[in-house]
């Protein structure tokens, strides 16, 4: 393998389905500075149409994935504003030759993540 990339998807655990229409941004973090790498919106499968970092372009370092979930959950949360607004996951890539998949499992009141493959 010549290298791997970075992908994500969002699963709505309250409704039991992929979360469509979630804006996602990816930043590289180095020396306290954040650099925008990619912007995307989740599709009907809860994934971005393209990897956030293409195969072979992933570099070791620290990254932040930010998911804008407030508008998505606005219809499920009777109180305004929704409990969760923006979810930022900061993680590190050690092996640029391994694929990193960082899913978000989310409900209007909680979230979790893990390193997938």
Tens digit of each residue's pLDDT (9 = 90 or more) over 66-90: 999 999 998 776 667 788 999 999 9
- Residue 82 inside a domain? The answer is yes
- Residue 35 inside a domain? The answer is yes
Q: Which is more confidently placed, 32 or 7?
A: 7
- Residue 26 inside a domain? The answer is yes
At 28, list the tokens: 């590289």
Nearest Cα to Cα of residue 84 among 104, 67, 108: 108
The model carries a pTM of 0.92
Residue whose entry in the numeric block shows the structure tokens 């993540």: 113
Tell me which residue range forms the domain holding 54: 6-113
Tens digit of each residue's pLDDT (9 = 90 or more) over 28-81: 999 989 999 999 999 999 999 999 999 889 999 999 999 999 999 987 766 677
d(CA 51, CA 71): 23
Domain harbouring 13, CATH code: 2.60.40.180
- Residue 1 inside a domain? The answer is no
* Tally of domains within the chain: 1
């Amino acid at each position: 393998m010549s290298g791997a990339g970075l992908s994500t998807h969002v699963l709505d655990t309250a409704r039991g389905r992929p979360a469509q229409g979630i804006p996602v941004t990816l930043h590289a973090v180095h020396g306290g500075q954040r650099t925008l790498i990619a912007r995307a919106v989740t599709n009907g499968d809860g994934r971005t149409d393209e990897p956030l970092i293409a195969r072979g372009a992933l570099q070791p370092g620290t990254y932040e994935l930010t998911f804008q979930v407030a508008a998505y959950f606005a219809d499920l949360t009777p109180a305004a504003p929704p409990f969760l607004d923006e979810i930022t996951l900061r993680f590190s890539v050690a092996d640029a030759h391994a694929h990193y998949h960082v899913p978000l499992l989310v409900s209007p009141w909680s979230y979790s993540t893990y390193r997938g493959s």
